[in-house]
Amino acid sequence: MKRTISILAVLTLVACGSAKLAAPTQADVDKASDAYPGYTLAQMNEGKGLYEQKCDKCHGLKDPTAFSPEQMREITPKMVEMANERQQSISADQAELIEKYLVTASMK
């Protein structure tokens, strides 16, 4: 519970409003090829769209570049769980696309 509160505090401190998200590029997808073999630009764009649509309902969108890939892998499942508890209805497939987008976007 303390860890969840800490994560939420970090999310709140990083950005108070919604982030302006850059459009994904093939270069972004290429960075993630080791982590996600077969990942496509279309999938990354779908994940970005789901992130914008689903996650903005509970809080402003956060800039994924403010986090490490490891942080995104830790935060995303918890946020999906919280959203589903609030009846936001994020399926497992949607959650995977959102997480892959956030992890890939956070890669420097």
Give the pLDDT score at 20.
82
Q: What is residue 11's predicted lDDT score, i.e. its pLDDT?
A: 47
User: Sign of torsion, CA 77 78 80 85?
Assistant: positive
pLDDT tens digit sequence for 9-68: 444 444 445 578 999 999 999 999 999 999 999 999 999 999 999 999 889 999 999 999
**pTM of this prediction?**
0.81
Mean pLDDT of 64-79: 96
